[in-house]
A and B are shown apart, each in its own frame.
Chain A
Amino acid sequence: MASHNESIIREPLITGKGITYAQITNDVLNPVENKPNKAWWIGFTVASLGSLLWVVSISYTFWFGLGAWGLNKTVGWAWDITGFVWWVGIGHAGTLISAVLLIFRQNWRNSINRSAEAMTIFAVICAATYIVAHMGRPWLAYFTLPLPNQYVLWVNWNSALMMDVFAISTYFSVSLLFWYTGLLPDIASIRDRATGLRRRIYSILSFGWTGSVKTWQRFETVSLILAGISTPLVLSVHTIVSFDFATSLEPGWHTTIFPPYFVAGAIFSGFAMVQTLLLVTRKVLGLENYITMFHIESMNKIIMLTGSIVGVAYITEFFIAWYSGVEYEQYAFINRATGPYWWAYWSMMSCNVISPQLFWSSKLRRSIKFSWFLSIIVNIGMWFERFVIIVTSLHRDYIPSSWVMFYPTWVDVSVFIGSIGIFFTMFLLFIRVLPSVAIAEVKLLLKTSSEQSKKKEIEEGHLDPVEVQYYKESLVKYDSVDMSDYEKI
């Protein structure tokens, strides 16, 4: 049958009273079908100004060349690659939520996967702009493709940068495909409620979706296989990004721990960015009943776990540098912690290793304000991580006469701030034109995992009172549950 009762001790994934299928559609499509409010316009204006800054600074870079950046002879890679790796890392959470959690049948993914996937796509777009920008002559970007050319030479397939081209492009296109396929039924929902020009536009976008039995059956097969292949894909992408460093002979980069360490860091920063966006989105769009405290707490637990993995990786790196007996390697790490960039290193350490440990406290884990604050801290920390890996490894070359510091120019800073503007512009447009929660998938949970269905079960009274008590206690943390309803039953 369509619905089985779930064990009562599991926390509900949808809260609220009198939620119906129509109610879910109305709630989710509310921002899509109505005029934006003031908060959105303010956000959109600020984000657009950020995008404008990006356009100006990138145009300046292309006009005057890479000399506009603060790079020098020793530090030939700095904020550009830092920004690139930061954005790619952020772009990992969406596919992880939609793919890995689907395979593990974690139903709480249903209400956060759509916006997380959108975030992934926008983050990878931001990352891609850095790749193109740092080429210096972006019109020659096709040099990275194995095309027959006048030099009769092929691309260097042995280079990790080439692997990056394939990994990022595959990741971006497969994520986009996964996201859009999942959107089809929800676009059809908008289409069937709209009129006039809007109906026409959404009709084209919906690909003619009807929701017949065969369509749903194939849709589910496609979703499951896409999830199955995206899981190794998402792990491969940051692994390959780490090859950019790990296959070099640079002290501080040349280490075999990089692939798993980068992947954990990517999941860590990705979930932090999901948290940053969703805690605001949930409030502004009024989605408290769908993105509940359970979701927030689960994500905080993942942030804590991956933060701990990252912490272990930092310590392991340091240990191996000493244990290897390679003095260059040892110096690179001592210099990171105590050299001129000590402030970057210790910012990274405190933001990424120490602060996520605060989530062991359930009180902090369930505080929305604190979660949001910490997600920002993690975002900052992960930016510093990449900065530390890249700049501090490079800035003291083998010959002390080449030792320099890296100073960003206004163009470096503007490209970075601008890319954040681009990201938020795209995200704000997304929540206006497409459903930010996967409507069909949330409807699946209504009969099994919603607060109201569980309440009904309790009222029917065939349940173990100990389990019911446990369930009631678990409800206290929810900010969207009115506990006075549970006093009598």
Chain B
Amino acid sequence: MSSTKFILGLFDDPDDMMHGIEKLQKNSIPIYDVYTPMPIHGIEDKLGVKESRLGYAAFCFGCLGASVIFSILYYTLVHDWPMNVGGKPNFAIPNFVPFTFEWTILFTAFGMTLTFFAATHLFPGRAPRVMDLRATDDRFVIAINAKGNIPHEDITNLLKEAGAVEVKHNNRKYVSYE
């Protein structure tokens, strides 16, 4: 048994890479993940990646922000210390609008983005789980878990046929950062 952990198909063109994904799927070879230097539309459909639910999170955070600031406004202006400004009503909703609007946006933006960071495990200092250093430059990388996917030669040939410029048999999952 070889010590190969991951087989990487490196493409220099996104269309070739899509072609590679199709070929692998036709041969029932499961794809571990795909790494690209830019967002390529259509991969998520091919790989069966479910739609992101971050939009729902954003909506909930927006509602939260609006409720929080509206409650603060109501508490301070109407409940805790109602001030008589020329006999005008204390509960002056038009004046509440800018604050409520701003905090809706603030909570939506930060809530959603932090949810994105948490769900994707992005935070300062996280060791980058990089399989190939050129995946952030000019290579479109299809990663295949070598374990159980044999023979490796066939996978290599499939990737080459699809137009891979290089096929790597890596003994380590991630490129070391030492």
A residues lining the B interface (CB < 8 Å): 1-3, 20-22, 25, 146, 152-155, 157-158, 162-163, 166-167, 170, 173-174, 177-178, 181, 184-185, 188-189, 191-193, 199, 203-222, 225-226, 229-230, 232-233, 236, 240, 243, 439-441, 443-444, 447
Contact = CB atoms under 8 A, between A and B. Distances in A.
27 contacts: A2-B15, A2-B17, A2-B41, A20-B138, A21-B37, A25-B137, A152-B81, A157-B73, A166-B103, A177-B113, A184-B122, A188-B128, A192-B128, A192-B133, A208-B121, A208-B125, A208-B126, A209-B128, A210-B135, A216-B39, A217-B52, A218-B120, A229-B62, A230-B109, A233-B105, A440-B39, A444-B38
B70 to A, nearest CB: 11
Contacts of B131: 210
Contacts of A173: 106, 109-110
B76 A205 contact: no
Interface in B44-83: 44, 47, 49, 51-52, 54-55, 58, 62, 72-73, 76-77, 80-81
Interface of B: 12, 14-15, 17-18, 33-44, 47, 49, 51-52, 54-55, 58, 62, 72-73, 76-77, 80-81, 85, 92, 95-96, 98-99, 101-103, 105-106, 108-110, 112-113, 116-117, 119-131, 133-138, 177
Nearest to A173: B106
A199 B128 CA distance: 11
A213 B33 contact: yes
Interchain residue pairs A-B with the least CB separation, the first 10? A208-B126, A21-B138, A2-B14, A22-B138, A207-B122, A154-B76, A216-B39, A440-B38, A163-B98, A221-B52
Contact of B124 (A188, A204, A225): A204
A8 to B, nearest CB: 20
Nearest to A214: B49
Contacts, number: 200
B102 A166 contact: yes
Contacts of B85: 158
A70 B24 CA distance: 74
A225 B58 contact: yes
Contact of A204 (B96, B98, B109, B125): B125
A181 B123 CA distance: 11
B98 A166 contact: yes
Nearest to B73: A157
A21 B80 CA distance: 61
A443 B15 contact: no
Nearest to A186: B136
Given A166-B99, A221-B116, A229-B105, 17 more contacts: A2-B14, A3-B15, A22-B137, A157-B77, A157-B96, A167-B102, A192-B134, A193-B133, A193-B137, A209-B122, A212-B33, A213-B34, A222-B54, A233-B102, A233-B105, A440-B38, A447-B15
B37 A157 contact: no
A204 B126 CA distance: 7
A208 B122 contact: yes
Contacts of B138: 20-22, 25
A20 B73 CA distance: 55
A177 B77 contact: no
Contacts of A230: 105, 109
Given A21-B137, A213-B49, A221-B52, A192 B36 contact: no
Nearest to A219: B39
B98 A240 contact: yes
B98 A167 contact: yes
Contact of A208 (B18, B51, B110, B123): B123
B124 A205 contact: yes
A178 B117 contact: no
A234 to B, nearest CB: 10
Contacts of B62: 229
Nearest to A20: B138
A398 B149 CA distance: 87
Nearest to B35: A211
A158 B94 CA distance: 9
A233 B128 CA distance: 34
Contacts of A444: 38-39
B76 to A, nearest CB: 4
Contact of B109 (A199, A217, A229): A229
A174 B106 contact: yes
A430 B170 CA distance: 37
A185 B137 CA distance: 10
B136 A170 contact: no
B33 A157 contact: no
A21 to B, nearest CB: 4
B112 A222 contact: yes
A194 B136 CA distance: 12
Contact of B36 (A157, A206, A216): A216
Contact of B130 (A192, A218, A226): A192
Contacts of B108: 225, 229
A192 B106 contact: no
Given A192-B136, A213-B47, A206 B112 contact: no
Contacts of B37: 21, 25, 185, 189, 211, 439-440, 443
Contacts of B129: 208, 210
Contact of B110 (A158, A177, A193, A209): A177
Contacts of A157: 73, 76-77, 95-96, 99
A205 B137 CA distance: 17
Contacts of A25: 37, 137-138
A177 B61 CA distance: 16
